Amino acid sequence: MSPMAQAAVEHYVGLSKQLNSSEVNADVVTARQRAQTVLLAQGFPTQRDEAWQYTRLVNFVQKRFEIATQRPDSTVDLNALQNFLPPLSPSFEVIKLVFVDGCFHADLSDDLLSLPKGLTIQFTTAQLPDEKRVDSEAFAVLNQALLSDGFTLEVSQNSAIETPVWVLNIQTKSNQLNNLTNQVQVASNAELTLIQQFVTLEGVEACTNVVTHVDIADSARVRQAVLQQQADASFYFHNQFVSQADNSDFNTFYAGMGSVLSRHQNHLLMNGEHIENSQNSACLARQKQVVDSRTDTEHNQEWGASRQLHKYVLADSAVGVFNGMIKVDRLAQKTDGQMDNKNLLLSSAAKMNSKPQLEIYADDVKCSHGSATGQINQDQIFYLQARGIPRNQAIEMITKAFLMEPVETINRSEVKKWVGGLLSHALLTGGYFSGGEA
Amino acid sequence: MANAEKSTELQAPETQYEEINDLLDKKNQHYKEGFFTSAQVETFDKGLNEAVVRAISAKKDEPEWMLDFRLKAFKHWETLEEPHWAKAEYAPLDYQDYSYYSAPTCGSCDSESGSESEVDPEVAKAFAELGVPILGENANIAVDAIFDSISVSTNKREDLSELGIIFCSFSEAVQDYPELVQKYMGTVVPYHDNYFAALNSAVASDGTFVYIPEGVRCPIDLSTYFRINEAKTGQFERTILVAEKGSYVSYLEGCSAPVRDTYQLHAAVVEVIVLDDAEVKYSTVQNWYPGDDEGKGGILNFVTKRGICEGKNSKLSWTQAETGSAITWKYPSCILKGDHSIGEFYSVALTNRSQQADTGTKMIHIGKNTRSTIISKGISAGHSDNTYRGLVKILPSAEGARNFTQCDSMLIGDQCGAHTFPYIEVENATAQVEHEATTSRIGEDQLFYCKQRGIREEDAISMIVNGFCKEVFSELPLEFAQEAEELLAISLEGSVG
């Protein structure tokens, strides 16, 4: 480990110890201590680690992010936030939960006493996660070392929660680490729509490190959208540990639009028969942004079906990283797995690194993956120009259409429309088209 | 005629092949090349140190620069750690437990690399049994036969030299064409490239050296046949192939080894240099001993093969049929440096029993409008693991580069694994890179269709597998394609039932 990375590790272990000194829950103390040991032993990954070959942490380890000491922080200007929220808010009915600098903010959120029947939300430190899965990811270990905030959301058996739960995370201060550990438990035959949105105030250089555990019981249905729109200098790390039981259905969509370095990971276990899931993403990056999205899908039982479509639009000298793995266990006969990654490079300095992988141990399966990277087909531009559409507008139209394809996989139409709007806004106003007059 | 001779030899009562017969009766019926030749040999003691490296060099009477290259590589190798990132499980090797030099000797023929008349009769017999025409009986092919550490025979050299083509063993090239060897050795695969390349550079045994002069189209296929015979020996051949401007050559290599119950090491380095407008077709049929049914023994095939398309419009095509070896770690690569150069990789890798193969290619696009095609077919059966691992890298300078990759895997049985690990790195927006991979098995309806028409299940499977591999086999030279098909059928025997 470089001295710089070593110093960063010690810094975060120090923060963890500081948290422990005032902690009353013995289980939490033990969990943090365990994570400290793992973090000290493993350190932060370097370029030599296969999983971090294309995603360099040099900039991250140079920083020393702090955790908020006052919770909730009374210095936050609520009026400013009230003004900040409206443009982001969905136009449809939601159950709103707002976290400011990693702390739940009751004043900005909906009344938790009037939740629909079958839905419970708590903010106490949740039950502790499976260590083995956590230890394989440095940022999940860090998350556990600083374990304190987050939500626990439970949906009881046979309850279909019609209204989407919208969790908005706002970072208001630079140099702060927003450490969230979330638990989502959806019981047998229940249904939930969850939207997690990560934003910062303009110009904030903060870090968000999230771990979300999602347990989906048999025949349950979970739809999820994760929107990452942090300011350009921020960092974002999100590990999702999902496990699915028989006949369950999971649909997740990730939109990566902000941060200088962002990494969104799904670790998905299909521990049952007849499971279906769909994991999709649309990522946009420009300037020196690094946008990393990865999935790790394990088919462990028969008759599972998984679908994936990941699209990237990269401008300037942005770097895109996609890493997907479909693992099919010996027992998972009749698996149907499909993973696609398509990338559009808008500038000659942009880079794309794609690693779609298959690891298959069962013979009666249908698995495939595809990856394509290139620029806009000149014939397509010509086609539109021939119909009187100016060149710049033609390029915008084609790029937008390219990026919107995965959005189609969102099943709820109001969520689809809203997410599509946010993405196209980010694309059309983000400076992706130099000299373009739309 | 050659065949008639061969069979009478084999029926001789005092046959040397008792050992194979014993072995074949018990197990390993799937590996017909598994016999052992008991020629008189000179073998170095086990162990690897600087003295051994010097001794190898002295044995070959090498010039100073070659010894320096070896020592430099050996020093570097000592600082490295054995890589284990491939998807194959094996205990770390004990490099002191191998012998690094073994050569057949016989009373009458004392020279290092015998000419056609001086081959040890036992060795000649072994090659005859393998069907390798070392005596030049086949008009369409020139053969360099390598037995353990040395090249025993290279035929048709005179005919080729009339065209200015150099086709000789690597050791001879070091003596006779030092300026060419010095100019090209280590330029494509430097000694510090990786662990096994460093080891090879230090203890390189023999190999083939091919030089095609400007504008010459090599009229016959050039071929090298590698045979590892001694137990506990490593083979570390070094092959250099240079195609000057506007030339063409088709080069083939084949390999086999006797049945042994311990791992044997094969760590080769192949360097191919292709200049302006030249074309090289490099085909391999790899049939090293794959180990027995329990996964005991077999060849560890850790090979670094790399070619550079140095010149404009040059073309390098790798075709491989991999059916042997206990563990394969092999990525024949193309560095597409010249503008408009073309790289191709066609591969069929079949694993059965407890074989583990981690193979693929690297296509590094540097020049403008460079194109590459990768077609990889993996077939896994038994308890084996078959992995495709490939890199396609488009550098910022590679305007208009184009790549197409297709990886198809087929699983036979539910105890094997098929994996695909592609790495795609695109740094130029004008590039177009496509990758697709599928995994499937032989469909029940396909089998039913064939059986309904009176085709036995085994034959149907063989037919379907051959159809699956056709795109690759059609790239192999004719005899090789046939050999590969037959090998596939033999290797698949017993995998279905």
DSSP state letters, B117-134: GG--HHHHHHHHHHT--T
| Cα–Cα distance, B150 to A355 (Å, whole number) | 42
- Give the 3-state secondary structure of residue A170: strand
Q: Do B396 and A359 touch (CB under 8 A)?
A: no
Determine the distance in angstroms separating the CA of B285 from the nearest CA of chain A, rounded to an integer. 26
Which of B396, B423, B437 lies nearest to residue A358, judging by beta carbons? B437
Residue A404, Cα to own-chain centre: how many angstroms? 18
Quick check: B427 and A375 CB within 8 A?
Answer: no
User: Which of B439, B444, B461 is most worth mutating to test chain A (most A CB atoms within 10 A of its CB)?
Assistant: B439
What are the E-state strand segments in B191-297?
Answer: 208-212, 221-227, 234-235, 238-243, 248-256, 263-266, 269-274, 279-286
Min Cα distance A160 → chain B (Å) is: 37
Best of A358, A367, A381 to disrupt the B interface (most B CBs within 10 Å) is A358
User: Which residue matches tokens 């023994």?
Assistant: B297
Contacts of B183 (CB under 8 A, 6+ apart): none
Q: Return the residue of A nearest to B444 by Cα.
A: A364
User: Tokens 């990452």 identify what position?
Assistant: A228
- Per run of 10 residues, the mean pLDDT along chain B (length 497 residues) is 40 41 49 71 81 87 91 91 85 84 60 51 74 67 76 77 88 90 91 91 87 91 80 82 94 77 84 95 86 80 92 93 87 94 93 89 95 92 90 94 93 88 93 90 85 89 85 79 76 62
Q: Measuring CA to CA, which residue among B236, B206, B3 is closest to residue B99?
A: B236
Q: Contact at 8 Å (CB) between B287 and B357? A: no
> Taking CB atoms and an 8 Å limit, are A363 and B416 in contact across chains?
yes
Of A50, A354, A373, the CB nearest to B431: A373
From the CA atom positions of chain B, what is the Rg in Å?
A: 22
For residue A337, the surrounding DSSP H or E stretch is strand A336-345
- Residue in chain B closest to A347 (alpha carbons) equals B429
Least Cα separation, residue B371 to chain A (angstroms):
14
Distance (Å, rounded) from C-alpha B450 to C-alpha B456? Answer: 8
Enumerate residues 271 to 330 of chain A having a beta carbon within 8 A of any beta carbon in chain B: 330
* pLDDT value of residue B4: 41
What pTM, to 2 d.p., does this model score? 0.85
Contact list, A351 vs chain B (CB under 8 Å): 425-427
Contact A367 B438 (CB under 8 A): yes
Contact state of A372 with B435 under an 8 Å Cβ cutoff: yes
CA A216-A102-A29 angle, 5° bins = 75
pLDDT at residue A168 in the model: 93
pLDDT at B369: 95
Contacts with B426 from chain A: Cβ below 8 Å = 343, 345, 351-354, 373
How big is the A-B interface in CB pairs under 8 Å? 116
Q: How far apart are CA A416 and CA A428, in angstroms?
A: 18
Mutate to test the interface with B, among A361, A375, A434 (most CBs of B within 10 A): A361
Which among A347, A363, A368 is the nearest to B412, CB-wise? Answer: A363
Contact B421, B391 (CB under 8 A): no
**What is the mean pLDDT, run by run of 10 residues, along chain A of 438 residues?**
88 92 86 91 89 90 85 71 76 92 87 90 71 85 90 94 94 90 94 95 91 95 95 94 96 94 96 96 94 95 96 94 94 93 93 93 90 92 95 94 95 94 91 60
Helices (H) and strands (E) in chain A, counts: 9, 19
Residue B117 burial (C-beta neighbours within 10 Å; 0-12, 13-18, 19+): exposed
Our CA angle for A234, A235, A241, nearest 5°, is: 145
What local confidence, expressed as pLDDT, does residue B392 receive? 95
- Residues from chain B that touch A366, judged by Cβ atoms under 8 A, are 439-440
Q: Which residues 72-111 of B are in CB contact (within 8 Å) with A?
A: 85
Closest Cβ opposite residue A363 in set B414, B429, B436: B414
Query: Six-digit token pair at A318?
Result: 């942005």
Inter-chain touch A364–B441, beta carbons under 8 Å:
yes
Are the C-beta atoms of A6 and A18 separated by less than 8 Å? Answer: no
What are the start-end ranges of the E strands in B310-401? 315-322, 327-330, 333-336, 342-351, 356-359, 362-365, 371-380, 385-394
Distance from the Cα of B400 to chain A's closest Cα (Å) equals 10
Residue B444's CB: how many other CB atoms inside 10 A? Answer: 9
Q: Show the CA angle centred on residue A410, arms to residues A373 and A359, nearest 5°.
A: 50
- Contact residues, A window 19-58, toward B, CB-based 8 Å cutoff: 50, 54
Residue A373's DSSP bridge partners are A343, B433
Tell me which chain A residues have a C-beta less than 8 angstroms from the C-beta of B420.
356-358, 369
The CA-based diameter of chain A, rounded to the nearest angstrom, is 71
Three-state DSSP at A375 gives coil
Q: How many CA atoms lie within 13 A of B94 on its CB side?
A: 7
> What element of type H or E holds B422?
strand B417-426
Q: Which of B376, B389, B409, B424 to mutate to test the interface with A (most CBs of A within 10 A)?
A: B424
B419 touches chain A (CB under 8 A): yes
By DSSP bridging, strand B208-212 and strand B238-243 are parallel
- Round to whole Å and give the CA distance between A141 and A308: 27
**B84 contacts in A (CB within 8 Å)?**
none
Chain B residue with the nearest C-alpha to that of A341: B435
The closest CB to that of B418, out of A360, A368, A373, belongs to A360
Whether the CB of B441 is below 8 Å from some CB of chain A: the reply is yes
Secondary-structure percent of chain A, ordered helix, strand, coil, rounded to 5: 25, 35, 35
C-alpha span between B477 and B346 (Å, rounded): 13
B435 vs A contacts (CB less than 8 Å) = 354, 356, 369-372
Amino acid identity of residue A52, one-letter, is: W
pLDDT on residue A195: 96
Token pair for residue B340?
A: 């408009």
* Closest A-chain CA to B428: A348
Residue in chain B nearest A355 by alpha carbon:
B423
The CA distance from A233 to A207, in Å, is: 9
Are B430 and A350 in contact (CB < 8 Å)? no
CB contact under 8 A, B435 and A50: no
Question: Is B43 within 8 Å of chain A by CB?
Answer: no
The confidence score (pLDDT) of residue A128 equals 66
Flag whether residue B464 sits within 8 Å of chain A, measured between CB atoms.
no
User: If you measure CA to CA, which chain A residue comes closest to B416?
Assistant: A361
CB proximity list for B190: less than 8 A, separation 6 or greater? B197
CB B429 to CB A375 under 8 A? yes
Give the nearest chain A residue to B404 (CA atoms).
A372
Tell which A residues from 336 to 395 touch B, by Cβ distance under 8 Å: 343, 345-375
Cα–Cα dist A407/A419, whole Å: 7
